[in-house]
Amino acid sequence: MNATRRKGYMSLLAIAAVALAGIALFILGESSTSLMMDADRAHVEAASRNLAASALAWAQLHRSEARPAADAREVRLDASPLNAAGAAAAVKLLSADDEGPVRAQIATQCRRGRFAPRRTATYALPPVP
């Protein structure tokens, strides 16, 4: 009789251990999902900043091609070296007003997972020394 109780007690401990292991795996799964989402968001933000920096450097090199806002053309830059899905950058060079600086309107887009921010900003380019 004593051996039967012991076997039942061990079975109960085994079931409890499996339940605890299941709960631990569930918690770890949820935290890893959250970590992946944070990593995707950080990757998209970094790629977007890199696109904007590249577009600004391009605009500084091609500042002589600036036109008035009505005639400005949009130039799409090659974003494939970033190796980011859905990455795109577009630059419009706007000529200076009478004495104002040349401006660059930069639009960036990058996508990863469900994060796909689109950003547009206008930068004043420094004068050429």
CB 104 within 8 A of CB 64: no
Per-domain residue ranges for the chain? Answer: 2-124
- Residue 116, classed as helix, strand or coil, is coil
Whole-model pTM: value is 0.69
CB 96 within 8 A of CB 102: yes
Banded pLDDT at 97 (limits 50, 70, 90): low
Q: What is the pLDDT of residues 46-72, one digit of tens each?
A: 888 888 998 998 888 888 777 776 677
Name the residue among 119, 70, 120, 65 with its Cα closest to residue 93: 65
d(C-alpha 100, C-alpha 78), whole Å = 29
CB 84 within 8 A of CB 31: no
Q: What is the mean pLDDT of residues 100-105?
A: 83
- Average per-residue pLDDT for the chain: 82
Task: List, in sequence order, every residue forming a beta bridge with 120; answer none if it has no partner.
Answer: 107
CB 104 within 8 A of CB 122: yes
